[in-house]
Structure 1
C-alpha cells in the first residue's frame, strides 16, 4: 500500500449530535484506485484538528477523475462551534451544523433507538463506526470514543457491554457503516 497523503476537497460539512461530530467531505480522486480517510491531526492542540487523507490502492485502474463522498464520526467538545480540517488545498474551519432531518438514521444511532437496552446506572456510552462493516473495527472505535476514565483507584475494573449493533446505508453522507454502541461501568 502507498502512504497516506492529504486529499483535495470540493466541500466539507460538519454536523453535531451530542458529543459526536459527523464530518462529511466531498471531492475528486485522480482514479477510482484511491481510498479516503479522515484522521486526527498529529498536532497537539485543543481542540483536536483533523486531516482529510487519500492513498492509492494496489492495482491498475482506469485513468479518470472519480468523485467521492466520505463521512467520519468523531468525538468532539460540545462547546466548540467549528472544527478544523487540513487538506491538500489548505485548511478549512468548518462551522458545525445541527444534525437535521436528512441525518435522522445517524442521530438515532448516536442517541440510541427507543428499543435498545438501557445502559447500567452511571455508565458512560459511546458508539463506534466501521466503513468496512467490521465488528472489531467498530468496537475498537467505540472504545476509543469513550471519555477518559475517572477511576479513583489503581486496580479499577472497567466492564464494557455492547448495547446495540446496527448498520447505516445510503443517505446524503454516503453511509456504508456498521455501528456498535457500548457502555462502560467502572468498579
Structure 2
C-alpha cells in the first residue's frame, strides 16, 4: 500500500468548485487569514502561529514532514483553492496509519458557511478511499460546534479514543469521531 499511497500524495483533487492540492511552504503567504483569532480560538495556543513568519515556518515544517516521515505513518497536507479565481481558502491534513486516516481541516473566515469545507473533506475522503483507507478519524475541540456539525453531516459518528491507534491530532478532552468507509460519499 505504501507505494500506492506515495503516488496519491502529490495528486491534485478537483471538485466542481474546489481544487485540493499538496501544501507547499509558499502557500502560507496566500493563507495569511489563518492567523485570524476567529480561526484559532479552538486550537491550543502552542499550535497557533503568532505571525506571518511563524505561519510560513509552520507550512515549511508540514511540507518537510510530508516528505520525510519515518514512523510508519504518512502525512499529507493540502491547501484548498476555489476553482474560480484560484483563491486559497483553507487547509486539510490527512495522517495515515495503514488502513486508518486522521483528517483535520481549517478554513479562513471568508470561506465559512458556503459548503467549501464539506465539499473539500468529502473529496479528500473519496480520494483516500481509493488508496485503501477504510476508516477515518476526526478530533474536534470541545465547543467547536461548527466543525462537529460538519463531521456529523458527513457521516462521522462519536467514538471513544481508540486503544490500538495513536491519534496524532488528539488533544486531551477532544471529541473523537470516526467514519467507516463504505464507498464514495
TM-score (norm 2): 0.27
Q: Which has the larger radius of gyration?
A: 1
Please identify which structure carries the higher helix content: 2
Please identify which structure carries the higher strand content: 1
TM-score (norm 1): 0.27
